[in-house]
Structure 1
Amino acid sequence: MVHMVGAGPGAPDLITMRGKELLSKADVIIYAGSLVNPQLLDYKKEECLVYDSARMTLEEVISVIEKAESEQKMTVRLHTGDPSLYGAIREQMDQLEARGISYEVCPGVSSLSGAASALKMEYTLPDVSQSVVITRMAGRTPVPEKESIASFASHGATMVIFLSTGMLKALSEELVKGGYLPETPAAIVYKATWEEEKTVICTVGTLKESAEKNNIKKTALIIVGNAVSQNAYQRSKLYDPDFTTEYRKGTGEPS
C-alpha cells in the first residue's frame, strides 16, 4: 500500500494524527525535500528507507514504490501542505493505478491555513470577502488563459497566490490590470509555521520592494485583498443575539 500524506505547512506538530501514525509505520518514505520540514522524519522508525524526491523524476519515484511493493513494504509519499494543492499527485496515482498498486490519500493542513494563522486573519470576513481564490502566476508551468491573475482579480475576492514569489513585479501589474488598486492590502508570508517564519504586510503596489527589503525570494505565499487589513467588516449573523438559528431564538425575532 502507498499512502500519499500531507505533511502540513511546516511545523512538525501540524501534521495530522493519521499522517504521523503512517510515518511511524512506513518502511519507505519518499518526501519532497525542498519543501517538507525534515524534522518530520524524526517520526519514522529506525530501519525506514528515506528518499528525497527533490532529486528524483516521476519515473524514479514510481520505481522505488514498485520495488517496495514487490518486497511487501508500506510506502509513504510525503507531500508539503495538503497533497491536493500543487502536489502533482494525479500523475502519480495514474501510474500506480496502471500498475495495480493500491494507494490512499491522507489530507494535510495547507500552507494557506498556516499563512492565515501567521497573519491572525480570517479570509472570509462578512461584508468584505466571502470567497477565496487559490491560484498562481504562469511561469515555466503554464496556467490556462481563462485563469489569469487579472481575470481572478476582477472579482475582488481574497486571493492566495502560490509559487509566484519570484515574479512579484509582474504579479502586481496583473493584479492592478484586473481591478485591484495599488494600495489594496497585501501580505507576504515566508515559510508559514516554520521556525524561520516571516510575515510582511504591504500593498499590491509594493509587493516586489517589500519582498526585496525582507530578503524573501521563494517559499512564500502572497495574500491579496481587503480581508488582510481587517478594519471594517460586519459581525457574524451566526452569533448575533438578534439572529434566530436552528439552535436558539434571536432576541430580534417576534415571540
Structure 2
Amino acid sequence: MTVYFIGAGPGDPELITVKGQRLIRTCPVILYAGSLVPDAVLSGHSAASVVNTADLHLDEIIALLEAAHARGQDVARVHSGDPSLYGAIGEQIRRLNALAIPYEIVPGVTAAAACAASLGCEFTLPGISQTVILTRFATKTSMPEGEQLADLARHRATMAIHLGVRHIERIAADLIPHYGEQCPVAVIFRASWPDEEKVLGTLADIAGKVLEKGIERTALIVVGYVLNAEGFTDSSLYRKPV
C-alpha cells in the first residue's frame, strides 16, 4: 500500500503527468483538494472511495489514509499544481512516517509554469534574469528571516508570488524600491482554467488594475523585466559555431 501525493497541475486537466493520471484512474481511494482540483482531473477513475478534503482538518485526512493502509488500498492524494510547492504535504508526510505508511510524490506542472505559457514568455533570459524566485506573501504564516519580499527583491530576479493578490498594493510598494515603478507585472487568475484572466501592468499601476478587475484570490503575481524584454542576448545553446 502506498499514498501517492499527486500534482494535478494548475487546472487544465490535460496538464497532468501520465503517471499521475494513471494512478488517479487505478487507485481504489482518492482524496483530492476539491476547491483547486477540477472534477475533470478525476475523469475515468474507478475508485470505490472519493473524498473531497477541502473541508477536512489534518487529523481527519490522516485517519482516512490510515484506514486505507489498514485495508491495503493505495491512495491517490491529489493536490493542485505541484504538491511540493505550498501543497501542505510536509505535515502529512510527517504523520505518515510516524505511522510507517509508505508514500511517494508524483510531481505536477506548477502554476508558475502555466503562467509563463499563458504569457508566452521565458522567465530566464540572458542578461535579464537567470533566476526565478517562487515565494509567497506573509499573511497567516510568517516568513523566515531574510525571506521578506524586500529582501528577495534586491536580486531583481524574476519573481512569482503566490497567495498575495489581495495585498497587491503592499507588494508593489515593497518591490518598487528595487525593481522601479516601470517594472512589468502580470497577475494571472486561475492560469490554464477556462475562466483564466490576465492583468498586465507595471508596479506603479498594477494594484489599481487588479482592483478594477475584482481579482481577490487564486492568482499568481509575476514580476520581472523578462515580461517585456526585447534586446536580450541570444543564449549560447543554439549559437552558430565559428
TM-score range, shorter chain: over 0.9
In structure 2, the residue matched to 1:194 is: 193
In structure 1, the residue matched to 2:232 is: 233
Instruction: Give the superposition deviation at 1:164.
Output: 0.5
In structure 1, the residue matched to 2:163 is: 163
Instruction: Give the superposition deviation at 1:230.
Output: 2.4
1:137-216 aligned at under 5 Å gives the runs: 137-177=137-177, 179-216=178-215
Instruction: Give the superposition deviation at 1:180.
Output: 1.6
> Does residue 125 in structure 1 map to residue 125 in structure 2?
yes
Instruction: Give the superposition deviation at 1:50.
Output: 1.4
Instruction: Give the superposition deviation at 1:176.
Output: 1.8
Deviations 1:21-75 (A, max 9, x none): 0000111111111111221121311x43111121011111000111111112111
Unaligned runs of 5+ in 1: 242-249
The whole-number CA distance in structure 1 between the counterparts of 2:209 and 2:140 is 24
Counterpart amino acid of residue 43 in structure 1? G
In structure 2, the residue matched to 1:4 is: 5
Identity %: 38
Counterpart amino acid of residue 33 in structure 1? G
The whole-number CA distance in structure 2 between the counterparts of 1:232 and 1:93 is 46
Counterpart amino acid of residue 15 in structure 1? I
- Contact 1:150/1:176, CA 8 A, preserved across alignment: no
The whole-number CA distance in structure 1 between the counterparts of 2:24 and 2:213 is 35
- Contact 2:9/2:16, CA 8 A, preserved across alignment: yes
> Does residue 51 in structure 1 map to residue 51 in structure 2?
yes
Deviations 1:206-238 (A, max 9, x none): 222111222211111000010011222111111
TM-score by length of 2: 0.97
Count of residues in Structure 1 that have an aligned counterpart in Structure 2? 241
TM-score by length of 1: 0.92
The whole-number CA distance in structure 2 between the counterparts of 1:151 and 1:169 is 17
Counterpart amino acid of residue 23 in structure 1? I
Instruction: Give the superposition deviation at 1:7.
Output: 0.4
In structure 1, the residue matched to 2:105 is: 105
The alignment yields a C-alpha RMSD, in angstroms, of 1.1
The whole-number CA distance in structure 2 between the counterparts of 1:207 and 1:53 is 34
Tell me which stretches of 4 or more aligned residues in structure 1 moved more than 6 Å.
none
Counterpart amino acid of residue 97 in structure 2? E
Larger mean Cα displacement after TM superposition, 6-15 or 203-212: 203-212
